[in-house]
Amino acid sequence: MQYIDVSFLALISGMVLTSFIKNKNFSGFITLIMMIFSSFCIFYFSLDVIIENKFIEQEIFSLKPLLNSSFTISIDSLSALFLLIISLVSFCVSLFSWKYLDVYKTNSPKRFYPFLILLFIASIGVVSVKDFLFFIVFWELMTLSSWFLVIFEREKKSALKGGLQYFIATHVTTAFLILASVILYSYSNDFSFKEINKSFSLIIKNQPYLSHFILFCIFIAFVTKAGVLPFGFWLPNTYPQPPSSASSFFGGVMSKLAVYALFRFFCSVIPFSFHTQIWGFIIASFGVFSIFVGTIAALTQDEAKRLMSFHAIGQVGYMFLGIGVGLYFIRINPFLASIALVGGLFHVFNNSIYKSLLFLNAGSIFYKTGTTDLNKVSGLMKVMPLTAITALIGSLSIAGVPPFNGFISKLLIFESSIWSAKQSEVFFLIRGAFIVFGIISVFISAVTLASFLKFVNSAFMGKLQGTIDEKRNLPWSMVLSQIILAFICLLAGLFPFIPLKIIYNAVIASSGSLPKFSSVFVGNMLGVGINFVENYSQGAWFPIFIMIPLIILTILIFSFERYAKAPKRDVETWYGGKEHAPEEVVYKGHSFYQPFKDLVSFKIGKIQFKGFYPVGIPAIKFSVPESFLKILRVDEWLYYPIVDKLTKFFEFLAQIYNSITEKYIIWLIFGSIFIFILLFYFSGGR
Confidence of residue 666 (pLDDT cuts 50, 70, 90): low
Q: Which pLDDT value is given to residue 564?
A: 79
Q: Which pLDDT value is given to residue 105?
A: 84
Top mean-pLDDT range of 126-140, 185-199, 597-611: 126-140
The verdict on residue 662 lying in a domain is yes
- The average pLDDT across 622-647 equals 63
**φ, ψ of residue 77 in degrees (nearest 5):** -65, -30
Query: Which residues are CB-neighbours of 349 under 8 A, at least 6 positions away?
Result: 81, 85, 409, 492, 499, 503
Task: Please give the Cα distance from 181 to 203 (Å, whole number).
Answer: 14
pLDDT in tens, 414-439: 888 888 777 766 777 787 888 899 89
Contact 360, 482 (CB under 8 A): yes
Structural domain that includes position 651: 636-682
Least reliable range by pLDDT among 356-365, 563-572, 653-662: 653-662
The verdict on residue 474 lying in a domain is no
Q: Which pLDDT value is given to residue 21?
A: 87
Confidence of residue 332 (pLDDT cuts 50, 70, 90): confident
Confidence of residue 679 (pLDDT cuts 50, 70, 90): low
Per DSSP, 241 falls in state: S
Q: Which pLDDT value is given to residue 597?
A: 77
Confidence of residue 522 (pLDDT cuts 50, 70, 90): confident
Least reliable range by pLDDT among 223-237, 374-388, 584-598: 584-598
Confidence of residue 663 (pLDDT cuts 50, 70, 90): low
- The average pLDDT across 218-238 equals 92
Confidence of residue 295 (pLDDT cuts 50, 70, 90): very high
Strand partners of residue 58: 73
Higher-confidence residue of 544 and 676: namely 544
- End-to-end CA, the chain: 69
Q: Which pLDDT value is given to residue 260?
A: 95
Contact 82, 349 (CB under 8 A): no
**φ, ψ of residue 542 in degrees (nearest 5):** -120, 85
Confidence of residue 313 (pLDDT cuts 50, 70, 90): very high
Q: Which pLDDT value is given to residue 431?
A: 79
pLDDT at residue 82 tops 80: yes
Top mean-pLDDT range of 564-568, 614-618, 641-645: 564-568
- The average pLDDT across 149-163 equals 89
Contact 326, 341 (CB under 8 A): yes
Least reliable range by pLDDT among 67-71, 246-250, 621-625: 621-625
pLDDT at residue 535 tops 50: no
Higher-confidence residue of 105 and 480: namely 480
DSSP assignments along 454-523, one per residue: HHHHHHHSSS-BS---TT-PPPHHHHHHHHHHHHHHHHHHH-THHHHHHHHHHHHHH-TTSPPHHHHEEE
Q: Which pLDDT value is given to residue 543?
A: 85
Q: Which pLDDT value is given to residue 1?
A: 62
Average model confidence (pLDDT) across the chain: 85
* Per-residue three-class SS string for 609-654: EECCEEEECCCCCCCCCHHHHHHHCHHHHHHHHHHHHHHHHHHHHH
Higher-confidence residue of 91 and 7: namely 91
pLDDT at residue 651 tops 90: no
Higher-confidence residue of 668 and 512: namely 512
The verdict on residue 646 lying in a domain is yes
Q: Which pLDDT value is given to residue 66?
A: 79
Higher-confidence residue of 37 and 272: namely 37
DSSP assignments along 23-64, one per residue: -HHHHHHHHHHHHHHHHHHHHHHHHHHHHHT--EEEEEEE-T
Go through 80-115 and write b for each residue having 16 or more CB atoms within 10 A of its CB, e for each that does not. bbbbbbbbbbbbbbbbbbbbbbebeeebebeebbbb
Per DSSP, 268 falls in state: I
Q: Which pLDDT value is given to residue 5?
A: 80
- The average pLDDT across 545-562 equals 84
Q: Which pLDDT value is given to residue 250?
A: 95
Least reliable range by pLDDT among 49-53, 370-374, 464-468, 524-528: 464-468
Q: Which pLDDT value is given to residue 517?
A: 85
Scanning 151-254, the segments in alpha helix (DSSP H) are: 157-188, 193-206, 208-226, 235-238, 244-249
- The average pLDDT across 47-68 equals 84
pLDDT at residue 590 tops 70: yes
Least reliable range by pLDDT among 192-201, 280-289, 374-383, 615-624: 615-624
Q: Which pLDDT value is given to residue 672?
A: 62
Higher-confidence residue of 657 and 299: namely 299
The verdict on residue 656 lying in a domain is yes
Confidence of residue 627 (pLDDT cuts 50, 70, 90): low
Confidence of residue 468 (pLDDT cuts 50, 70, 90): confident
Contact 296, 612 (CB under 8 A): yes
The verdict on residue 424 lying in a domain is no
pLDDT at residue 308 tops 70: yes
Number of structural domains found in the chain: 1
- The average pLDDT across 477-489 equals 95
Q: Which pLDDT value is given to residue 539?
A: 66
Per DSSP, 566 falls in state: -
The verdict on residue 174 lying in a domain is no
Q: Which pLDDT value is given to residue 581?
A: 67
- The average pLDDT across 679-684 equals 54
The verdict on residue 669 lying in a domain is yes
Confidence of residue 251 (pLDDT cuts 50, 70, 90): very high
The verdict on residue 673 lying in a domain is yes
pLDDT at residue 638 tops 70: no
pLDDT in tens, 171-211: 988 999 999 999 999 888 888 888 888 888 888 888 888 98
